[in-house]
Every structure is written in structure tokens, then in C-alpha cells.
């Protein structure tokens, strides 16, 4: 294995260690109301993010392309984007911080899962050398992060509404949780649309088609429309609370299936290089 | 009648039902193989193995969902509903931007110095959008009112444009060997044509001059480049262009794309016992790796056997650069291989009852020609959808009303859609008012 790849893999494991540590400290801080511990967990997570970022850069340098070809690098970069965006959003919306109890473990689970796939470097095929592809992939990663936050708030809403666990009192009130879930779902819908648009421009540039009803395209469209239906129900039908949360969780599950499983199940341009 | 139709079209239940029915259509098109995505052999095989569904497929057009009348009707109804709704949303956005009544019972506090309050509010990014009913209305992110309207407008534009494309599109795919000419009106290897489109013919003759594939050291494809010549009526070269993947050519408004398929073309001459020569160009797709072969089953007119051919990019399996490809021909009679012959360029040998000679090796490539109307509409529509979504969820409008009172001014906030953040802001402004100079 290339020296850079060995360094990248080692750094990935170091990042996993940081993230696991951050998760333990964070969960302890949230459950047992230890503010200091919760605050410190963020420093550990930022440390992990830096190490993880260096690992991705090493891989990028070796492969000569961004982390979007093989599953190992796709999952790892998804984890990085999810954590980075969570930290960024939590600066502007401090109320979302308890979502760290979902985001921190999701990050190390994604990265650890990626480490079990073949880390072999694949060269970039000519159709994938387009700025539109980079935008297409980047916005889907951002959509994944925002959808995860909306999903976490939906779960929080259901938990807080149905249980009396003490640590849930640290969360915002039910109405605020519901509105945060709604707003992040709106962000997810918008970023998913940008991903779709960039993808169709890329396809038009590469194949002379903007849409080919490829299985991943089809399921991506279904997911996007369903996310739109969720927003429509909230906006015009007054859906809120548990009903909206459950419906959103269905959309979130579908988005995960579209992003991670359809490319494995079906043969398509999206799966060609991910299998 | 008009009002009733309008009411039905705008009914929330109608909209939701139409979206779900269209989604159902897309899922059906995913579950049932579609003619435009599958070969006729695949379609026949599916029909043989799914006899129960065959009558339903025929009756409901489940093998061509997107061109059925019922899907077009659903899409048309949805477009109509969306257009009417879009008009309403635009009017609503204009009304909200220009007018806004003072909310009742949400009085948040008073301050003696009206000037100071207004300047503090402006400092927070609020814009005064007018006054009425004794109150001055300040709005932060007033463009947020237009989010929903733009979201709907973008959908109308994108859907209408895609409909125009579906009806008028012309897309022809042709596989040419180096030196081969595609003339106007010649048949395409495959063609997609919209229901309202005329037959797709090129304005000039096009000749494929050269094809140059490049590979990484890992054998992955790096690039395929083709050079084309456009020939005038007298056969003279009127223009030349070089294509590559992601490098598009243009011929009088027709876009030309380098296709994904390419490979070697083997010029083989078969001579039978009577001395009759049969010439055949075997177009075979490039292998994926230097140590793996590409396979093709070929029928040749005048030869009553199936020919199974395979080729390696390099006879010595040392590179993907195809200076010395190896072609292996197998003659198959009723499933049994009766003869096999490996050939390199210029070689010949016995292949069962035939003598075969590999005269020449060149390249072939797939070229895609498209003539679309409405493509900018798709991208513009999506751009407007994104803009609308962004305005709705990133910059929701927030309203503050300042009313004159005996001892100064009163401040009133109106709840926005994402009230939690506005609540914070109102509290901050009110705290600042209480602290006189905090803002």
C-alpha cells in the first residue's frame, strides 16, 4: 500500500478514537447535566475533525481526486461534512447542540464503516471530471447533514413528547424542537434540489441527457418530492408535532436508502464506480 | 363554473392526491421495465416470466408509463394546479410585501424616543415597508415573502420545459469506424424522438477521422478524444472539430457528444473453399483491463456459423495502449466450438472451412447528436426552485410594528413561521429598549 494511504488509514483510526471519546464525554455531559463535560466534548470533536480532515487531504493527494469514488472515501467524507456542518450550525443555532448525542456517534459509525471497505484508490474516469459533479456530490453531502439534523429533532420531539427522561429537559421546548425539525427539513429539501440540479447539468454535459431515469435518479426524485410533500403538509395542512415527525422519519429513511443502498442494489451510472 | 374548477384545482387534497398519483406513476415505471430503457429482448423475456401482469401492462401502458395518456393527464392537471397556485402565491407575496395589518394583542413594550427605536430596528436589518392604521411596519428579509411563490414558479417552469423537451427532443446515436461517414438521413444506431419531433437528420455529412483513447497506469479510462470533419456537398471539408468526454462539439445548433462506447474495429476477410471472399468489420468494445478480454457474438452474412470473438488490447497483456491487439475468433456450430484462430494485424490462418485474414485494425466510437429545445428552461426552473427554497427557509421574513402613543412609541412583533428565532430577537430588542442604549 502507498505510504500516503497508510498514513491516511492510520489518521482515520486516530479520528475514530477522537470521535468515540467525544461521544462518551458528550453523552455523559448531556445525560448527567454536566455542562463542563459537554463543552469539552466539542474540543475533542474538533480535534477529531482536524485529524480526519488531514486524513482526507492525504487521500486526496494520493488519489488525485476528491473523496467521492470508492465507498471508503465517500463514507469518510460524509462523516466529515456532517460533523463540520453540525459544528457550524450549532454556532448560529445554539439550541441544536443536544443533537450532538446523535451526530457524534453517527460520525464515528460512518467513518468506521468506511474503514471496512476496500481503500484501493480508483482513478477518476473522464465522465467524472466535471465541476458539476463536485457540486452535485457536495450538495448531497450537505443535504445528508441537514436531513440528519432534522431527523434528530424529529426523534427528539417523539422522545420528549412520550417520555419523562430528565436529560430531555435540556432540550428546547416541544414547539421549538418541532420548528427546528421543520426548518432543517426545509434546508435539506433545498440542498437536495441543488444536488439534483447540479447532477442534471453534469449529465447533460457528459451524455447529452439531463435525465435518464437511472434508478438512483428516480429514487432521488421520489425522495425529493416526498420531502416536498412533508413541507407542503406542514405549511398548508398544519401538520406538526408527532405526526410530522413520523412522516419526516420515513423521508429520512428513504433518503438514506437512496444515497447508500440503491447504488448497491441496482446497476446505474451512479453504481458503476461505487461497487 | 370557473370558481368551482379553480377551487378544485387549488384544493389541498387535490394537490396532494396529484403529487401522490404522479409519485405512484414514477414507482410503477421503476418496477415495470420501460421500453425506452430496455432492449426488446429484455422486454420479451420479462413478459414471458410475468404472464399475470402482461394484460395489465398492455391495458395501462405500464411498459411506457411516461408516454401514457393517464400519466400525461395527471401531469397536465398538476401543471395546471401549480400554475393557478403560482399566480395566487405571487399575488399573496406582493400583498404581504406591500401591506400588513398590525397584529392585535401582541404589544411588547413602549419607549419614549421613537427615533431611537426606529434607528435601533434599522440597525438590526429591518426595512420600513410603509405605514398604515397608525403603525409603521418594519420587515427583516422582506424577500422571504417571495420564497413560496418562487418555489411554485420554478416548478411550473421546470415542468413546462421538460414537457417541451419530451415532445420535441431529437437525439441520435451512431457508432462510426475511423474514416466512416454519417450522411443526412442515414439511419441512426439508436434514436430518441419526441412525439412532435420530425425525423432527426444532420445538416451536413460527418466523418469520424480519428479516435484516441487514453488510459491511466491502472488501466482505468483517462479520456477518449475523437476528431470529426464536416463535409460539404462536393465532399470538401467544410469544418473540423475535436470532441472528448465532457467536451461538446456543435454543428449548426446540434450538440455533439463523445459517447461512452469505443473500441477496436477489426477488418477481417474470410475466404471459403470456393475462393469467395467475405469482408467483415468486427466492431468490439474496448476491454476493461489489459489482462481481460472483450467479447462479442457476431453473425456474418454468407457464413452459416456463429462467430464468437474476443480481443485483448495488447497481445502480450502489457498495456492498454492498443498498438498490437490480439483477436481470437471461434467458429461455433450448434453450441460447439469447431475451430479457433488467434490473429494479430496482418496475420492469417485456418478457421474451420474458412481462411481468415486480419487485414487492418482501427478504432470506432459512439457519437451522440442532440437537438433540444427548452433545456435552459429546466435549469432556470430548478434555479428558481432553489432560490425559492432558500428564501423560504434561510431568510424567513420578520415583522415589527411601531405605533405612536401618548408617551412615545409601542413595539409589536408578529410571529413568523420559525418563531423561536424571532422570539429571541424580539426579546433582545425589548431588553435593549428597557436598557435605553443596549442596541
Residues A72-81 have a mean pLDDT of: 91
Our CA-based measurement puts residue A16 at a distance from the nearest CA of chain B, in whole angstroms, of 30
Q: Are A216 and A266 in contact (CB under 8 A)?
A: yes
Place of cell 419530451: B166
**pLDDT of A1 above 80:** no
Place of cell 427583516: B140
C-alpha span between B67 and B194 (Å, rounded): 10
**pLDDT in the model for residue B225:** 94
B418 has a chain A CB within 8 A of its CB? yes
Nearest-angstrom CA–CA distance, B13 and B20: 10
Whole-number Å distance between alpha carbons of B340 and B308: 9
> Average pLDDT, stretch B92-120?
75
Query: Which tens digit of pLDDT belongs to each residue from B405-421?
Result: 777 787 777 766 676 54
Cβ(B412)–Cβ(B404) under 8 Å? no
Look at B379 and A209 and tell me if their CB atoms are within 8 Å. no
CA distance B362 to B211: 9
What pLDDT, in 10s, does the model give residues A121-179?
A: 777 777 777 788 888 999 999 999 999 999 999 999 999 999 888 888 888 889 889 99
Q: Which A residues 23-62 touch B at CB under 8 Å?
A: none
Tell me how many degrees the CA angle B313-B351-B276 measures, rounded to the nearest 5. Answer: 110
With beta carbons under 8 A apart, name residues in chain A contacting B382.
193, 196-197, 200
Question: Which pLDDT tens digit goes with each residue over B291-346?
Answer: 999 999 988 888 999 999 999 999 988 888 767 899 999 999 988 999 999 999 99
- Which chain A positions have a beta carbon within 8 Å of B391's beta carbon? none
Q: If you average pLDDT over residues B161-167, what whole number do you get? A: 84
| Cβ contact, residue pair A236, B12, below 8 Å | yes
Provide the mean pLDDT of chain A: 88
Task: Please name the helix (run of DSSP H) or strand (run of DSSP E) that holds residue B212, with its range, or none.
Answer: strand B205-215
**Cβ–Cβ below 8 Å for B379 and A200:** yes
Angle at B358 between CA B353 and CA B361, to 5 degrees: 150
Distance CA A11, CA A17 (A): 10
Distance separating alpha carbons of residues B94 and B309, to the nearest angstrom: 69
A232 touching chain B per CB within 8 A = yes
SS (H, E, C) A240-251: CHHHHHHHHHHH
Nearest to B245 among A122, A123, A126 (CB): A126
Of A70, A185, A205, the C-alpha closest to A135 is A205
Of A179, A208, A221, the CB nearest to B370: A208
- Contact predicate B409/B403, CB 8 Å: yes
d(CA B145, CA A149): 25
Sign of CA dihedral A245, A247, A251, A252: positive
CA B427 – CA B196 distance, rounded (Å): 61
Q: What average pLDDT does range B71-83 have in this prediction?
A: 90
Check residue A224 and give its pLDDT: 94
Q: Does A186 touch chain B (CB under 8 A)?
A: yes
Residue B397 · residue B145 · CB < 8 Å: yes
* pLDDT recorded at residue B416: 67
pLDDT of residue A274: 43
Q: What is the pLDDT of residues B121-136, one digit of tens each?
A: 888 888 998 887 778 8
Inter-chain residue contact B220 with A237, CB threshold 8 Å: no
A192 Cα to chain B: minimum distance (Å): 9
Mean pLDDT of B163-187: 90
User: Does the pLDDT at position B40 exceed 50?
Assistant: yes
Task: Indicate whether B424 pLDDT > 70.
Answer: no
Confidence category of residue B116, pLDDT binned at 50, 70, 90 = confident
Amino acid at each position: 500500500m502507498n505510504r500516503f494511504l497508510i498514513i491516511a488509514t492510520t489518521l482515520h483510526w486516530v479520528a475514530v478514537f477522537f470521535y468515540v471519546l467525544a461521544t462518551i464525554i458528550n453523552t455523559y455531559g448531556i445525560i448527567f447535566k454536566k455542562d463542563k463535560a459537554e463543552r469539552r466534548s466539542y474540543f475533542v470533536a474538533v480535534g477529531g475533525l482536524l485529524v480526519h480532515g488531514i486524513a482526507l487531504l492525504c487521500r486526496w493527494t494520493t488519489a488525485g481526486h476528491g473523496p467521492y469514488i470508492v465507498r471508503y472515501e465517500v463514507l469518510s467524507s460524509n462523516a466529515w461534512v456532517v460533523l463540520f456542518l453540525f459544528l457550524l450550525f450549532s454556532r448560529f443555532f445554539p439550541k441544536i447542540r443536544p443533537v450532538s448525542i446523535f451526530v457524534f456517534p453517527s460520525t464515528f459509525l460512518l467513518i468506521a464503516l468506511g474503514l471496512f471497505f476496500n481503500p484501493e484508490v480508483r482513478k477518476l474516469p473522464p465522465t467524472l471530471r466535471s465541476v458539476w459533479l463536485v457540486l452535485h456530490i457536495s450538495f448531497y453531502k450537505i443535504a445528508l447533514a441537514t436531513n440528519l439534523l432534522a431527523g434528530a429533532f424529529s426523534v427528539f420531539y417523539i422522545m420528549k413528547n412520550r417520555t419523562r427522561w430528565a436529560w430531555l429537559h435540556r432540550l428546547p421546548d416541544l414547539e421549538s424542537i418541532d420548528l427546528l425539525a421543520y426548518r432543517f427539513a426545509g434546508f435539506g429539501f433545498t440542498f437536495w434540489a441543488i444536488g439534483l440540479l447540479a447532477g442534471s447539468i453534469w449529465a447533460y454535459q457528459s451524455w447529452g441527457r439531463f435525465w435518464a431515469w437511472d434508478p438512483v435518479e428516480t429514487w432521488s426524485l421520489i425522495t425529493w418530492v416526498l420531502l416536498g410533500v412533508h413541507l407542503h403538509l406542514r405549511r398548508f395542512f398544519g401538520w406538526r408535532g408527532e405526526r410530522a415527525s413520523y412522516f419526516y422519519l420515513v423521508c429520512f429513511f428513504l433518503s438514506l436508502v437512496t444515497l447508500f443502498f440503491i447504488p448497491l442494489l441496482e446497476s446505474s451510472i451512479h453504481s458503476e464506480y461505487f461497487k | 363554473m370557473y370558481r368551482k374548477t379553480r377551487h378544485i384545482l387549488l384544493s389541498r387534497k387535490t394537490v396532494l392526491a396529484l403529487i401522490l398519483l404522479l409519485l405512484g406513476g414514477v414507482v410503477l415505471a421503476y418496477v415495470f421495465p420501460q421500453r425506452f430503457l430496455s432492449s426488446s429482448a429484455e422486454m420479451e423475456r420479462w413478459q414471458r416470466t410475468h404472464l399475470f401482469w402482461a394484460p395489465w401492462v398492455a391495458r395501462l401502458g405500464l411498459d411506457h408509463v411516461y408516454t401514457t395518456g393517464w400519466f400525461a393527464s395527471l401531469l397536465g392537471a398538476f401543471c395546471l394546479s401549480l400554475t393557478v397556485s403560482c399566480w395566487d402565491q405571487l399575488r399573496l407575496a406582493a400583498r404581504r410585501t406591500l401591506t400588513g395589518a398590525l397584529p392585535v394583542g401582541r404589544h411588547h413594550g413602549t419607549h419614549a424616543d421613537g427615533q431611537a427605536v426606529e434607528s435601533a430596528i434599522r440597525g438590526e436589518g429591518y426595512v420600513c415597508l410603509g405605514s398604515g392604521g397608525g403603525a409603521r411596519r418594519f420587515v427583516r428579509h422582506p424577500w422571504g415573502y417571495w420564497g413560496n411563490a418562487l418555489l411554485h414558479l420554478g416548478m411550473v417552469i421546470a415542468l413546462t420545459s421538460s414537457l417541451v423537451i419530451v415532445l420535441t427532443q431529437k437525439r441520435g446515436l451512431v457508432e462510426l469506424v475511423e474514416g466512416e461517414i454519417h450522411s443526412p438521413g442515414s439511419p441512426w444506431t439508436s434514436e430518441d424522438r419526441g412525439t412532435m419531433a420530425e425525423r432527426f437528420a444532420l445538416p451536413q455529412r460527418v466523418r469520424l477521422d480519428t479516435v484516441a483513447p487514453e488510459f491511466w497506469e491502472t488501466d482505468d479510462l483517462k479520456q477518449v478524444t475523437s476528431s470529426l470533419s464536416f463535409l460539404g456537398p462536393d465532399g470538401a471539408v467544410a469544418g473540423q472539430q475535436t470532441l472528448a468526454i465532457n467536451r461538446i462539439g456543435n454543428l449548426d445548433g446540434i450538440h455533439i457528444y463523445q459517447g461512452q462506447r469505443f473500441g477496436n474495429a477489426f477488418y477481417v476477410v474470410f475466404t471459403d473453399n470456393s475462393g469467395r471472399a467475405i469482408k467483415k468489420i468486427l466492431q468490439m468494445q474496448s476491454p476493461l483491463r489489459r489482462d481481460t478480454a472483450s467479447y462479442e457474438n457476431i453473425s456474418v452474412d454468407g457464413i452459416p456459423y456463429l462467430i464468437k470473438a474476443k480481443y485483448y488490447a495488447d497481445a502480450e497483456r502489457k498495456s492498454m495502449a492498443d498498438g498490437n491487439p490480439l483477436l481470437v475468433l471461434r467458429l461455433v456450430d450448434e453450441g460447439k466450438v469447431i475451430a479457433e484462430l488467434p490473429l494479430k494485424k496482418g496475420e492469417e490462418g485456418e478457421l474451420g472451412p474458412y481462411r481468415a485474414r486480419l487485414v487492418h485494425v482501427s478504432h470506432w466510437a459512439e457519437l451522440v447528436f442532440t437537438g433540444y429545445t427548452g433545456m435552459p428552461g429546466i435549469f432556470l426552473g430548478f434555479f428558481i426552485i432553489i432560490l425559492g427554497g432558500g428564501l423560504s427557509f434561510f431568510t424567513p421574513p420578520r415583522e415589527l410594528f411601531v405605533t405612536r402613543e401618548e408617551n412615545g412609541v409601542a413595539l409589536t412583533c408578529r410571529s413568523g413561521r420559525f418563531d423561536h428565532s424571532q422570539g429571541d430577537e424580539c426579546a433582545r430588542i425589548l431588553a435593549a429598549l428597557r436598557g435605553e442604549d443596549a442596541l
